[in-house]
Structure formats: C-alpha cells, structure tokens
Structure 1
Amino acid sequence: MLHVTPQRILVVGAGHVGLYAALRLSQKLRSREAQVIVVDPQPHMTYQPFLPEASAGNISPRHSVVPLRRVLRKCQIVSGTVTRIEHARKVATVQPIVGPAREIEYDHVIVAPGSVSRTLPIPGLREHGIGFKTIGEAIYLRNHVLDRLDVAAATRDAATRRRALTFVFVGGGYAGIEALAEMEDMARDALRYYPELAPEDMRWVLVEATQRVLPEVDRDMGAYTVQELLKRRMDIRLDTRLESCVDGIVTLSDGDSFPADTIVWTAGVKPSPMLDATDLPRDERRRVTCLPTLQVVDGDRVVDGAWSAGDCAAVPDLTKAPGAYCSPSAQHAVRQAAQLADNIRRVIRGKAPLPYKHKHAGSVASLGLHKGVAQVYGVKMTGLPAWFMHRTYHMSRIPSFNRKVRVVVDWSLAFLLKREAVSLGQLHDPREEFLEATPELKPKAGAGR
C-alpha cells in the first residue's frame, strides 16, 4: 500500500480567518491527508465585534475570546510570532514566546495576520492615545473611564474635573461609534453611584475626518445615528481632524482646543506589518494580492501553496464592478475562511478551487443598551429591534457552543442584576504595591571583586 505523507498546512494568525479556516480544515480533512499548524502569539482568538460590550461590562471579557487549544484540538498550536516567510523555500521562521527561533516547513500557508490600527503622525498620539482592537485595550479603556469618574468625584478643582470627564473618540466607523456609545452608556449608568457628579458634567466627543459616520450603511442611517448621539448630548465633529494631543491637549482642525484625559483612536486599520517580512506579492495598500479563489497571485501567476484572506488580503469582490475588493469586515473574513479551507481541501484531493462570492448582507451596530442601528438585505431598523438583531447575529457567529452559552448567560444576568461599575486599574500595574512594600537591596561593600 502506497504511503502518502500528510500535507503540512501552516496557518499564520488565529484571528477570524485563521481560526475558522483551521477549524474547518481539521474537521474536513483526515489526519493522513493533512496536518494543520496554527501560529499566533496569543492563546486565544478575540471576537472583535464583542469588544464594545466587553468594555462596557455587558459580557465578561473572557467570554469574548475563544481559547485556541480548546477549539482547535486536532491542530498543532504554536504560541509565538512568525517573523519571516520565505515562500520560495516554503519555510516560515517562528519566534516562540521563550527560546530560540525555529523554522517550520509547509506545503500550504494561510497568511492571515490580520490588521493593526492605522495611525497617523499626530503629535502626542503615541503618548496619550489608546487603540480599540484587542481585549487588553477594551479592559484598559473600561478601567480608565471608571477611574476618571473617581478622579472627578474626588477633586474640588474645576479644571481637573473637566479634563477627567472629557472623553475623545477619533474615527466614526463601526468600531468608533460602538465604543463611544457603549462607554457613554456605561458611564452614565455608573453615575448613580456618584452623587458628586451629574450626566451633564461629562463631555463625549466624536472626531470624524469625513462628513458622515458609519460609511458601511446608507446616509440616512448614518444621519439617524448622529441624531441619536446628539440627543445624548454628545459632541459630534464631522469633517474634522485631530491635529495634536500633546500633553493631553486636544487640538482639532476646526480650531477648537481642550484638555482630555481619554483619547481613543479607532480611525481605521492597515495590514499587519508582519507582511513586510515575506516574499509574497502585495498591492499599493500593502495587502497580499489574491484571486477570488483566495490563492495568492503575482501578476498572472498563481503562487503555488500560498493563500490569504481577511483584512490583510486584496480579494476581488465578484458581486460588484470589476476592480472592487471585499471590505475588511468580520462578515467577509468568516466566509472567506470557509471557502479558503474548502479550496485547500479540493486542491489536496486533486480538484480545482472555487471562487469566493458573497454579497455583503449588511451591517448591525449597538448604540448602547437597548439601542442600535441595522441595515440587513436592504431592510433598515433602529432602536430596540436593531439592538436585538445585533446581539442575535453576533451570538450566532462567535465560535463554539461553549462561548455562545456563556454570552447568553451574561446577557440574561444583565436583565436581572445591575451592571458592575468598578475600576480594576491595578490590573495594569499589579506589582506597584509589592515593589513599594519591598525594600531595595543595596550592593554589599566589596561585592563583585
């Protein structure tokens, strides 16, 4: 009997594309056909649509992440960072969390490191800004906002209070709008425990460089969102750019300037810089160039054994005019991952890959508890129905039955119990108190001779 060596499939990144593709491959391919290896520096996949709810305390942060070793039991998990891909040799260099780097050979590689925040060279942004792409950033933002309420309640200085209660969000896409709305909703709810403060003491500012928010939906839905935020006394600055935030002094392109302790950057994403350390073809936006089949393509030549999808890939959108590409959304990423996995299976079994084609179903967004906006297959909804659709859709999309149950339990408890409004700021510097309590040892005289 002829012995066939299993194909080695290397998955770079365990985000939406990496996790879903690896899970499907491990389910659809037999062990004698392929071995799936997943490399990611984090032991979990973050379901990013739940970051605003996790930050606002509607669900536990642990329930918005998916443990890789629990879900991908048939895959080999390598906790580390891919530092280089030499596809000409079909070899990837991996730096484990601890220890020397190692090389992993493969037959197929799925390049899906995702994206990072697209920042600009704005003075002060590096020192005073915070992103909103990871669970760590979401937890930090929650603790920071609640800590600012404590600062404002404790001080008698009006300037200190105004600065502490000024919260600036830069970027009017889904990430920015949901983060702003959920955090304001949480802070307003927390004020019941702060008799020293009133809702009108808080200032929530949205800075958007274009003339509209939520570009993924029609203009009337974006206008509705702005009107709803204005009803909550938020300061919406459209067609405005952040010019500087040196020393926490926010300076805008409309000439306004004010101090703020909280500056959240959600103004778009760009492909992971990890792609710079590969020999794969890229377009002018630094995305990996792909065919509709999710195969990497260099001009007219298909790059054998190389696949990509998601935020870091330029995938033609066959539902639109020629030259259009799929948007960097979780909706496309999850569906591309399934098609990509199926295509690798087809190639391994000697069949031709099939093109990815999916018309964007629409978008849903939460604007806080019981508030939302949705546009799905042309049907537009607002308020409670949109909020319910938002929750239903994302609950159905988060991987594993275990996560679904935990999220539903969190939501059910939220109907019965009041939201927790306490800052756990010590999480971000847990050794500070211990260091203060532990005396520093001075070198003994004559030591080192």
Structure 2
Amino acid sequence: MYTALGLQKKLRNGQATVTVVDPRSYMTYQPFLPEAAAGALEPRHVVVPLRKVLRRCNIITGRVASIAHQDRKVTVEPEAGEPYDIDYDILVVALGSIARTLPIPGLADCGIGFKQVEEAIALRNHVLEQFDIAASTTDEEVRRRALTFVVVGGGFAGAEALGELENMAQYARRYYPRIGKGDMRWVLVDAAERILPEVGDEMGVYAVEELSNRGVEIRLKTFLNSCENGHVVLSKGKPFDSNTIVWTAGVKANPVLADSDLPLDGRGRVTCTADMRVAGTDDAWAAGDNAAVPDLTADDPDAVCAPNAQHAVRQAKLLAKNIVATLNGEQPKEYRHKYVGSVASLGLYRGVAHVYGVKVKGFPAWFMHRTYHMSKMPTFNRKARVLVDWTMALLFRREVVTLGRMRMPRDEFRRAAAPKD
C-alpha cells in the first residue's frame, strides 16, 4: 500500500498505470492487532481501505497464484470466477509473510493464528465465549478446559497478544461472579531462552517477571509436541486440555514466491540488491517481509534486513521513489536504515522498550509504544479514529460482549426453516 501510495503521488498523469492485487481490500496495521483483540481499539480502525486511499490505482481483490516474470505475467485468482493473467511492464513484489507453522498433530485443527484483523476479532470473541461456557457449566473438566489459554511464541505478536488478552480477561471477570482470579490459567510457550529478544536481555527478563507476577506461566526452552482435540502436550511438564491455542511462533515468506521464476534465498525470500531491485533484473522490485534486502548498516556483509514493520514501511516509501527515478532516467538510491530499537506493550499501562540504547519499562514504555505506532498509522483519518478510541476507553469502561455467533449468522434461521418431523 505504501509503495502504491507513493507512486500515486509522484507519477505524472498518464505516465503509468498502477494495479494493486491483494486478497483483502484493506491493509492491516498489525502492531495494533493486540489492542483490537482486547477491545481497546475498534477493529475497523486498524485497517486502511485500499480503494479509499489509492484512488488513482486499479485495485483487484484476489490472490496471486503464480508469477512468470520472464513472460511478464501474474496469474490472479479472484474472489469469484476463473483465474486470469495480468500483463505488466514493472513488477513490485510485496506479498509479505504468512504464519510459519510446523507439522504438529492437531495444530491445523485447533490452532488460532494472530496475523490478520479477522483473527484478532475471532480470538477476542473466542476468549469471551470461554467465559460464558465456564460460568454456565457444572462440569469442572469443561470449566477448567475453557479457562486455560495457551499462546505459543514469545515474540512481539505472542507476548503482546497474551498481555492484552489477559488484561481484558481480568477486567471481564468482574461480570462473572463464578470465575475467580485463580480459575484462569495463562501459558506462554517458547522454544527460546527468553521472550521478546528484540528488546534485549534485560527488558526480556523484566517482561517475564511482569507476566509471571500476573499469574502467567512462562515455559521457556519448551516445544509444543501435539494439541489434538485440545489436549496439549509440551516437551516439558504434564499434559493438559485447553480450548484456546494461539500460534504466533514466527513467520515465513509468502509461499507464492516458490511458484515464480524470481531468484530466492535460503529462506524463500526474493533476493534483492541494495536499491531493492530484484537481483538480475531491471524491471522487478521487492520490499518488506518477502524481500531479502542487504542491510548496509550491519557489520556482516551478508546481513539482510529483518522482516519487520520498521524496515518494510521505510523500504516501501523509498521503493516508490526509486521506481519513479528509473522511469525519469535517474539512478535509484540504496536502502540504508540503522535499526533504532523496539517497543512492546504487555497490556494496559505496561510495556518494555529499548530505543537508541535507552531501556524503558512500565508505563513510560507503554506510552512510547502507543505514541510511536500512532505516528506510523497510515492516514490522518485512521490516526484520529485511534485517538478517539483511546480517549473513549479512558472515559468509559470496556465493552465485554462476544459477537462470536456472527460467524454463523444463518444458524437460527436454518433451525426455524427446517421441516418438522
């Protein structure tokens, strides 16, 4: 979206036609997904509608099935109808990444992802549904299973999702007199020695202490072996049952790239030069999670930029300038950005940060997290809506209501319309 927006602004009328192909009609600002899941932000305010922002671009809602750069063709699978090919002169590959999963028994059936806004909404509804189940049953096993929540992956997505959801659950508990604080069980599982490695060792230790003080079980150097039918078996400790298994254990480049003739590195990302041109081509470019762009600020000459939003947004903006420069006969610029640090939220008024070598924790880090990400939120419209949501949250209590049955809007009608025996 950022690349298309830059091209839309910088290209002269009639100079080129920009076509954007995406399976969703909006861009998701992923750093705000935990707050959307916890109800602190309206889900519609963490996404940017492409057709509203990219008014001078041609938007196609469909999935890219394959790329044949030698023939200058992209095969698109639309929402409905038969696949078709799109011809192009210049290609920008910004397919991003998908969840990196493992062949763990039961994961595909029981796991819940946390990368798209629909997953965040579903997870919020699901957690609150478990409260309804636990408060309405007389079966202790059903109750225990409903109130056990497992998050696999201790990076940004996992730690922030758990922190926000646990915070929301503790607030929601006041409306469920039969559910005590000790009835809930939150488990964070990670194969590494610490969580949130991006914020450094000291802040990672603080994050563990903060979550542990809130009753969260931190299982480090631990693997999920299986979760068939919600029966969780870890590499350490006793097995237990859970209705909620959230998978946030890393990402990988979009597998569509494997069905292309573009050069890929060992991790399946497009091999790029420092100006984000696809290696060996003059008319193909790439940026973001699916691009292996050399990190010119690193000491290692073979280092590439990490797949995170900090690089992706900056790469996208420079990429638009580079494409326009080449169209005007000018030389593109190399991407160079020194990593400034990281911020992470652990729930309301709690956070950790390591920015420009300065370590911050607690409320100041939480405030830095909100301030930074609001500044990076695309469009003034969305910035204003996010700010209003936060202001309303200060004035009024959270809404604790599940709309999970919206996934099945016709069930009640089907029962009413079913023929009677």
TM category (shorter chain) comes to over 0.9
**Alpha-carbon distance in structure 2 between the residues aligned to 1:36 and 1:79:** 14
The alpha-carbon deviation at position 440 of structure 1 amounts to 5.2
Partner of 1:372: 351
**Alpha-carbon distance in structure 2 between the residues aligned to 1:254 and 1:99:** 49
The alpha-carbon deviation at position 101 of structure 1 amounts to 2.4
Amino acid at match of 2:172: A
1:312 aligns with 2:294: no
1:64 aligns with 2:46: yes
**Alpha-carbon distance in structure 1 between the residues aligned to 2:334 and 2:148:** 48
Partner of 1:115: 97
**Alpha-carbon distance in structure 2 between the residues aligned to 1:280 and 1:347:** 20
The alpha-carbon deviation at position 192 of structure 1 amounts to 0.8
1:441/1:36 CA distance change after superposition, 3 Å? farther
Q: Name the SS for the 2:252 alignment partner.
A: strand
Partner of 2:168: 186
User: Mapping of 1:230-241 within 5 angstroms?
Assistant: 230-241=212-223
Could you report, residue by residue, the CA deviation over 1:200-240 in whole angstroms, capped at 9, with x for unpaired residues?
11000000001011111210010000000010011000000
**Alpha-carbon distance in structure 1 between the residues aligned to 2:351 and 2:195:** 14
Could you report, residue by residue, the CA deviation over 1:365-410 in whole angstroms, capped at 9, with x for unpaired residues?
1111111111111111111111111111111111111100000000
State TM-score, norm by structure 1.
0.92
Q: Which runs of 5+ in 1 are unaligned?
A: 1-18, 443-449
Partner of 2:61: 79
1:35 aligns with 2:17: yes
1:396 aligns with 2:375: yes
Partner of 2:392: 413
Could you report, residue by residue, the CA deviation over 1:283-334 in whole angstroms, capped at 9, with x for unpaired residues?
111111011110001xxxx212111111111111111021111111011000
The alpha-carbon deviation at position 248 of structure 1 amounts to 0.7
The structure number with the bigger radius of gyration is 1
Q: Name the SS for the 2:173 alignment partner.
A: helix
**Alpha-carbon distance in structure 1 between the residues aligned to 2:288 and 2:23:** 18
User: Mapping of 1:431-442 within 5 angstroms?
Assistant: 431-439=410-418
Amino acid at match of 1:309: A
Aligned match for 2:205, one of 223, 227, 249: 223
Amino acid at match of 1:155: T
**Alpha-carbon distance in structure 2 between the residues aligned to 1:63 and 1:143:** 18
Amino acid at match of 1:261: N
**Alpha-carbon distance in structure 2 between the residues aligned to 1:406 and 1:432:** 34
Amino acid at match of 1:359: K
**Alpha-carbon distance in structure 2 between the residues aligned to 1:185 and 1:255:** 26
Q: Name the SS for the 2:65 alignment partner.
A: strand
Partner of 2:77: 95
Q: Name the SS for the 2:71 alignment partner.
A: coil
Could you report, residue by residue, the CA deviation over 1:176-211 in whole angstroms, capped at 9, with x for unpaired residues?
000000000000000010111111110000000010
Q: Name the SS for the 2:151 alignment partner.
A: strand
Amino acid at match of 2:241: P
Could you report, residue by residue, the CA deviation over 1:323-364 in whole angstroms, capped at 9, with x for unpaired residues?
111111011000000111111011101111111000111111
Please, what is the CA RMSD of the aligned residues? 1.2
Could you report, residue by residue, the CA deviation over 1:45-68 in whole angstroms, capped at 9, with x for unpaired residues?
011001000000001000010000
Q: Name the SS for the 2:278 alignment partner.
A: strand
Q: Provide the identity percentage.
A: 58
Partner of 2:27: 45
Q: Name the SS for the 1:295 alignment partner.
A: coil
Aligned match for 1:430, one of 409, 414, 419: 409
Partner of 2:339: 360
Q: Which runs of 5+ in 2 are unaligned?
A: none
**Alpha-carbon distance in structure 2 between the residues aligned to 1:272 and 1:441:** 49
Aligned match for 1:280, one of 226, 243, 262: 262
Could you report, residue by residue, the CA deviation over 1:56-83 in whole angstroms, capped at 9, with x for unpaired residues?
0001000010000111111111111221
Partner of 2:120: 138
Contact 2:199 2:343 in 1 (8 A): no
The alpha-carbon deviation at position 438 of structure 1 amounts to 1.2
